[in-house]
Amino acid sequence: LPVNITCWAHLLYIVNEHGGSAKQFNSIVKFITKWTEKYPKIFRDGMSTVYSRRSLINTLEKAFQTKCLKPKDVDVVLPSNGRKVTVPVLDFAALSRFQLSKDYILDNISPNIDRDTFRPIISVEEHENNPKAVIGEKDTGWMYREAIKSHCPDVPDPTLVRPYPLCLHTDYSHADTNGFLKGCPVQCFPAMLTNKAQSDSKCWMLMSLIPSLSTGKGRKKNKKNGLLNSRDYHAVLSAALSSLKSYMDAGGFYWIDPMGRTVLLKPYVLINLG
């Protein structure tokens, strides 16, 4: 990046770190610009371009190709009452490529998994003949192997076509101090990670955020029966998982691995943790 872009990005980081607003950032930029126009050497070096917060972010997005990480709003009409709610959905492939580019993801792949194929190192025969083997073991057991057969059958080169099993989980979090309104993040992480890494939030990927489906405020919110609640929840959950489903239907997405190989990853939900 040009040194001036790096400088503005540093300032943006400082403002964000201290809870500053876009207006505050732009005010600082105008302040710096005003002084350097009169005293070009006051900061030792002049500036060729003045950036607003938005234009700086646009420049950084283009430089680092991160615009695809922005969520897209998906409108959902609730079956119970016809009310429209908005579900922000992130592009699953872009998010996964971003996560897999981080060393802490690839460094925490289970020792039972081959890093070049994302398949179990232990053979089926060795696993079946081992009296201590666990059928339901997440990364070596029967379910993991059967899922690979279903979603990623035998291919000529397993390094270029790999399974991408996911552990999916949701968790309500209170959105207000009274605990009435709730947001529900829909998250996932690669199933081939170690158990320790699974508990590390750095390995989690936020796929979407299900908004509050309650109507009204506080204790006066309208009540719906269980069936209507279930229909509403599944309607927004379908939208939340729409990006993942689109790539599953398309047969996967491509990723450049650390060795520079173009790999087709085939995503699927191995475990739903609820």
Q: Are strands 173-174 and 182-190 parallel, antiparallel or unpaired?
A: antiparallel
d(CA 248, CA 163): 11
User: Stretch 123-147: mean pLDDT, rounded?
Assistant: 75
Of the chain, the end-to-end C-alpha distance in Å amounts to 43
Instruction: Please give the helix or strand (H or E) that residue 23 lies within, else none.
Output: helix 22-38
pTM for this entry: 0.72
Contact 104, 202 (CB under 8 A): yes
Among the listed ranges 2-6, 38-42, 158-162, 246-250, which one has the minimum average pLDDT value? 38-42
User: Stretch 66-95: mean pLDDT, rounded?
Assistant: 91
Instruction: Record the tokens describing residue 231, joined without a space.
Output: 């229909």
Contact 154, 256 (CB under 8 A): no
User: Stretch 99-115: mean pLDDT, rounded?
Assistant: 91
Tell me the pLDDT tens digit for each residue of 31-40.
988 988 888 7
Confidence of residue 105 (pLDDT cuts 50, 70, 90): very high
What three-state secondary structure class fits 213? coil
Average confidence score pLDDT of the chain? 84
Question: How much is the pLDDT for 217?
Answer: 42
Distances in Å between the Cα of 228 and the Cα atoms of 225, 234, 269 are: 6, 10, 26
Helix, strand, coil content of the chain in percent (nearest 5)? 40, 20, 40
Question: How much is the pLDDT for 65?
Answer: 81
d(CA 7, CA 193): 37
